[in-house]
Amino acid sequence: MTQQDLARDIGTIAVVGGTGALGSGLAFRWARAGLKVVIGSRDAARAAEKAAEIGEKANAAVSGDANAAAAAAADLVVLSVPFAQRDATLESIAQHLAGKILIDCTVPLVPPKVGRVQLQQAGPAVMQVQDRLGENVQVVSAFQNIGAGLLQGESDEIACDVLVCSDYKEAAETCIALAEAAGLRGIAAGPLANAVCAEALTSILITINRKYGANHAGIRITGLPEGGSAA
């Protein structure tokens, strides 16, 4: 699919929490790839300021608005806020998500031991998001294992894979295309229940970063056929 086709198919992407590290990096990459992006923030003025900064860097038009207005204006919404703020932020945008794809990037880290895997008894945290929103919203889990700093760089390709989990195949395919537009490789990693592994991996990558003095440890899936795509 060409970038023009992708831009037409996806429409407007709202990055809720797009003023932050991960959200602004994704927004930059997508804007640079010709996709239409609106930055969401609790503060519309802060969103507009960050949107102008990203737009200048990406040489593209990027807009900014309050989280709810950004979600309302979008065809696809990305949630990128600290986990402790996930539910409150979700409540503030939930009414604008019907019929849309929601990509959840949040990781259920439990400070201060963010380098320790702390699985939730209820399964992957993202499942609570799908349960809260119901079948009318196609929830996808992705981007938990990408260091935000990598996205701020100018290189076209980033040597990291993105595990994409969803109970909706087409929504997962859309997210894989978005990962690729950002210069990453998206991997179809199965149903939303499997997102528990991507959520847990973040703590392992944080630990690896600390032990090896790295900043952006990531993962690569090996053994895939050259140029192959998911069945």
Provide the binding-site residues for ligand NAP, judged by CB under 6 A.
17, 19-23, 41-43, 46, 80-83, 85, 89, 105-107, 109, 143-144, 146-148
Residue 166 CB, shortest distance to ligand NAP, in Å, is 17
Q: Which is nearer to ligand NAP, 174 or 202 (CB)?
A: 202
Residue 9 CB, shortest distance to ligand NAP, in Å, is 25
Residue 199 CB, shortest distance to ligand NAP, in Å, is 9
Q: How many CB atoms lie within 10 A of CB 142?
A: 28
Q: Which is nearer to ligand NAP, 84 or 98 (CB)?
A: 84
Q: Are β-strands 138-141 and 161-166 bridged in parallel, bridged antiparallel, or unpaired?
A: antiparallel
Residue 169 CB, shortest distance to ligand NAP, in Å, is 23
Q: Which is nearer to ligand NAP, 138 or 218 (CB)?
A: 218
Phi-psi category of 59—alpha, beta or left, where left has phi over 0 and alpha has psi -120 to 50? left
Q: Which is nearer to ligand NAP, 7 or 129 (CB)?
A: 129
Produce one character per residue of 90-125: b if its CB has 16 or more CB atoms within 10 Å, e if not: bebbbebbeebbbbbbbbbbeeeeebebeeeeeebb
Residue by residue, DSSP assigns 75-92 as SEEEE-S-GGGHHHHHHH
